[in-house]
């Protein structure tokens, strides 16, 4: 009996498509339909472990998952959920992977109740794109709103002295002016023009329609599904049950729905929470984190440089992520000292910040370059200080929609003397030594002497910025300076004037790093730095955020819909000396909020 059972098993192994009795064919495995929710494509930094971990993936891991889906022979199609908050550069990374899935012979389908310009960019790739009769497509052209607060501040007696080097270095002009300057308007118009034209071109190419048909959609702004169908922007109008039937016909079989493709780590974590005894081991892991286990094989390191640049350590709290020079310098040093790391990708998503902190990171890049290649990979924004830390790399890659450049310096000093007069506060200044009393800004604002000293120091800093950029880019300093002056460029324009080397996203940067290191990009492991904070570090940071003044104010302002006002007033919340060189900023002239 045992022998017969084994023989049957052997026959089933040798002939998997027929039954044991040689008759009825075995049932073929169901074709998988995998849900891909673009809202999950979030932060780029390594995902923390421990009790605060949400079981999610970082951006690179999500790109890897798309690539795995493309290679999986059991997957017949993906169902795209196009809701997202990606900048245009990272969106291009995702589009590239989605095209790879389609090139692998798999279908892309999408049912969306509503679509806007951003989500249509992705959804337009679908082989089947359906919207219900009551749905809507909103194609609004991109615009930027800037609040000018000089007159508001004047009502409470506050005035701002804003000094800048470069006519396009317009940061903080919203605090010192009542209306937009012409350089600001020219620059924003150029950026929005490129954003609009890129959206029209991409949607038209994906839908295989004329750009004029997409432009008709922008003219209508709010488009009914039947109108969108007539313009070729969608494939069908109908309800979700009708969509399911069309998907089944497209695939040729009833698919097996897969909502969480490849979430084994999240499943393991859920099992631990479901088992009371396993919670003890989870708590032990959180309180006693294990050191990163590194293999002896050659690898590539990614150093994530994310957020506004500042001195000290990086932080992530209610006010948003900041990039601390101490943290990034330590990460670059770790990559340099790791003998198995053969090349480094510096992944930058930053509008800039402290010029001093940017320069310290730049120096760490130079030290790292002395040991191995360093490739800059620009995300959505790598401007001003973000460009400073990139300009000394062996190669700079960006997407056409990346915001970069902004080579310039700005400083903003509030004058509170009128406020003090209104509320009855008298400022007395006592000094000893040359110009001691003239260094005070609380009594009368910037003195002529201090203004002159600041302007001289800023000119020196600007000259240093330009000289280092020219050396890094191997360009004549005078030629590079003509492209500096605080001017912001898209990646497309930056390539034309030599500020970057070529186009590509994070994946392309990794591939190029592997090429320089003579490694196989398909098998080379990656070390991600800085490492994610452990449980104790996360807990400590949460307490620090609650204890700060800015955190509750920022949180409250965001709840009230006035987060941009608090951000603009951020200098009031800083406890640093606004006249020191450490506070001179290489920062993007505006927050990039596109509607």
- C-alpha count within 13 angstroms, C-beta hemisphere, residue 230: 8
Task: Give the range among 13-17, 273-277, 307-311, 414-418 with minimum mean pLDDT.
Answer: 13-17
Give the closest residue to 379 by CA, choosing from 594, 118, 87, 56: 87
Is the pLDDT reported for residue 137 higher than 50?
Answer: yes
What digits encode the pLDDT tens for the residues 416-447? 888 888 888 888 887 767 877 877 888 888 88
Q: What is d(CA 76, CA 447) in angstroms, rounded to the nearest whole number?
A: 70
Contact 521, 442 (CB under 8 A): no
CB 588 within 8 A of CB 352: yes
> What pLDDT, on the 0 to 100 scale, is given for residue 97?
92
Mean pLDDT over all residues of the chain?
A: 81
Q: How far apart are CA 331 and CA 305, in angstroms?
A: 10
Q: Give the pLDDT confidence of 62-109 residue by residue, as tens digits.
A: 899 999 999 999 999 999 998 777 888 888 899 999 999 999 999 999
pLDDT at 423: 80
Residue keyed to tokens 């002295």: 161
Contact assessment for residue 412 and residue 161, using Cβ atoms and an 8 Å cutoff: yes
Q: Measure the CA–CA gap between 204 and 268, rounded to whole angstroms.
A: 43
The H helix count followed by the E strand count for the chain is 24, 24
Residue of 485, 167, 135, 543 whose CA lies nearest to 318: 543
The yes-or-no answer to whether 30-140+221-292+535-547 and 293-530+548-587 have a common fold is yes
State yes or no: pLDDT of 272 exceeds 60: no
pLDDT tens profile 391-409: 999 999 999 989 999 999 8
Q: What is the pLDDT of residues 295-335, one digit of tens each?
A: 789 999 999 999 999 988 888 754 568 899 999 999 999 99
What is the mean pLDDT of the segment spanning 217-223?
A: 91
Q: Are 174 and 568 in contact (CB under 8 A)?
A: yes
pLDDT at 588: 67
d(CA 586, CA 326): 18
Q: Note the pLDDT of residue 530.
A: 92
* C-alpha–C-alpha distance, residues 361 and 305, integer Å: 10
CATH number of 293-530+548-587: 3.90.226.10
Q: Is a pLDDT exceeding 90 seen at residue 512? A: yes
Residues in the chain: 595
pTM of the model: 0.79
Rg (CA), the chain: 28
Is 157 exposed, middle or buried (CB count within 10 Å of its CB: 0-12, 13-18, 19+)?
A: middle
Fold adopted by 30-140+221-292+535-547: 2-enoyl-CoA Hydratase; Chain A, domain 1 (3.90.226)
Residue 281 pLDDT class (50, 70, 90 cuts)? low
Local structure of 574: helix, strand or coil: coil
Strands 75-81 and 299-306: unpaired
User: Buried b / exposed e across 440-476, counting CB within 10 Å, b at 16+?
Assistant: bbeeebbbeebeebbeebbeebbeebbebbbebbebe
Looking up tokens 């005894």 gives 277
Show Cβ contacts of residue 305 under 8 Å, excluding neighbours closer than 6 positions: 323, 328, 346, 347, 348, 349, 350, 361, 386, 389
Distance, in Å, from the CA atom of 410 to the CA atom of 367, rounded to the nearest integer, reads 28
**pLDDT tens, residue by residue, 150-206:** 888 888 888 888 888 888 888 888 888 889 999 889 988 888 898 899 999 999 999
Q: Is the pLDDT of residue 466 over 60?
A: yes
CA pair distance 548, 566, nearest whole angstrom: 15
Q: For residues 42 and 45, what is the distance between their CA atoms, to the nearest angstrom?
A: 9
Asked whether residue 484 carries a pLDDT value surpassing 60, the answer given is: yes
Predicted pLDDT at 568:
46
Considering only CA atoms, which of 385, 363, 365 is closest in space to residue 376?
A: 365
What local confidence, expressed as pLDDT, does residue 208 receive? 94
Residue 149: pLDDT over 70: yes
Question: Do 501 and 373 form a contact (C-beta atoms < 8 A)?
Answer: no
Give the ranges where 80-224 is alpha helix by DSSP (H). 88-103, 117-123, 150-155, 173-176, 182-207, 211-220
More confident residue, 15 or 97: 97
Hey, what are 142's tokens?
A: 């991109």
Residue 496's SS3 state is helix
Instruction: Quickly count: other Cβ atoms within 10 Å of residue 7's Cβ.
Output: 11
pLDDT tens digits, 229-263: 999 999 999 999 999 999 999 988 888 888 888 76
Amino acid 41: pLDDT:
82
CA distance 176 to 159: 7
- pLDDT tens digits for 26-49? 555 678 899 998 888 878 877 765
Specify the pLDDT at position 13: 37
Q: What is the pLDDT of residue 513?
A: 96
Site of tokens 């902004």: 406
H-run or E-run covering 421: helix 417-423
Percent of the chain with pLDDT over 90: 44
Contact 113, 526 (CB under 8 A): no
Domain boundaries, the chain: 30-140+221-292+535-547, 293-530+548-587
């Amino acid at each position: 009996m045992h022998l017969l059972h084994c023989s049957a098993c052997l026959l089933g192994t040798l002939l998997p498509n027929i039954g044991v009795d040689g008759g009825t064919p075995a049932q073929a495995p169901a074709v998988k339909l995998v849900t891909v929710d673009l809202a999950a494509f979030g932060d780029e930094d390594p995902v923390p472990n421990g009790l605060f971990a949400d079981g999610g993936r970082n951006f690179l891991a999500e790109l890897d998952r798309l690539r795995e889906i493309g290679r999986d022979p059991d997957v017949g199609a993906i169902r795209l959920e196009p809701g997202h908050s990606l900048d245009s550069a990272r969106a291009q990374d995702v589009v590239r992977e989605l095209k790879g899935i389609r090139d692998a012979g798999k279908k892309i389908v999408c049912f969306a109740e509503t679509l806007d310009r951003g989500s249509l960019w992705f959804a337009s790739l679908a082989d089947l794109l359906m919207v219900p009769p009551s749905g809507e497509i909103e194609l609004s052209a991109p615009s930027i709103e800037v609040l000018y607060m000089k007159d508001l501040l004047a009502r409470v007696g506050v005035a701002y002295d804003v000094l800048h080097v470069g006519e396009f270095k317009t940061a903080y002009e919203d605090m010192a002016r009542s209306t937009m300057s012409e350089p600001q308007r020219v620059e924003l118009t150029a950026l929005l023009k490129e954003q609009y034209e890129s959206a029209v071109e991409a949607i038209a190419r994906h839908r295989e329609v004329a750009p004029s048909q997409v432009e008709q959609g922008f003219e209508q702004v709010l488009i009914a599904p039947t109108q969108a169908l007539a313009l070729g922007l969608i494939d069908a109008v109908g309800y979700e049950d009708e969509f399911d039937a069309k998907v089944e016909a497209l695939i040729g079989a009833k698919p097996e729905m897969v909502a969480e493709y490849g979430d084994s780590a999240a499943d393991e974590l859920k099992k631990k929470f479901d088992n009371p005894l396993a919670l003890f081991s989870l708590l032990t892991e959180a309180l006693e984190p294990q050191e990163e286990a590194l293999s002896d094989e050659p690898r590539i390191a990614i150093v994530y440089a994310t957020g506004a640049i500042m001195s000290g350590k990086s932080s992530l709290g209610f006010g948003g992520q900041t990039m601390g020079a101490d943290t990034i310098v330590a990460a670059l040093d770790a990559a340099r000292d790791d003998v198995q790391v053969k090349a480094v990708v510096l992944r930058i998503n930053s509008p800039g910040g402290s010029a001093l902190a940017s320069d310290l990171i730049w120096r760490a890049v130079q030290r790292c370059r002395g040991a191995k290649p360093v490739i800059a990979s620009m995300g959505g924004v790598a401007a001003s200080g973000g460009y400073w830390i990139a300009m000394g790399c062996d190669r700079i890659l960006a997407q056409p929609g990346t915001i970069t450049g902004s080579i310039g310096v700005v400083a903003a000093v509030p004058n509170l003397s009128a406020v003090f007069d209104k509320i009855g506060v008298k400022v007395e200044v006592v000094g000893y030594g040359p110009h001691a009393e003239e260094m005070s800004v609380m009594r009368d604002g910037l003195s002529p002497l201090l203004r002159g000293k600041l302007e001289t120091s800023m000119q020196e800093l600007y000259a240093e910025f330009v000289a280092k950029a020219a050396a890094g880019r191997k360009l004549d300093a005078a030629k590079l300076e003509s492209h500096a002056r605080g001017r912001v460029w898209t990646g497309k324009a930056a390539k034309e004037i030599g500020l970057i080397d070529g186009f590509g996203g994070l994946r392309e940067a990794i591939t190029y790093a592997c090429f320089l290191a003579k490694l196989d990009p398909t098998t080379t492991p990656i070390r991600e730095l800085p490492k994610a904070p452990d449980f104790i570090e996360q807990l400590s940071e949460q307490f620090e955020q609650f204890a700060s003044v800015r955190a509750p104010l920022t949180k409250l302002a965001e709840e009230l819909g006035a987060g941009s006002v608090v951000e603009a007033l951020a200098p009031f919340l800083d406890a640093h000396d606004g006249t020191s060189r450490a506070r001179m900023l290489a920062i993007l002239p505006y927050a990039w909020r596109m509607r």
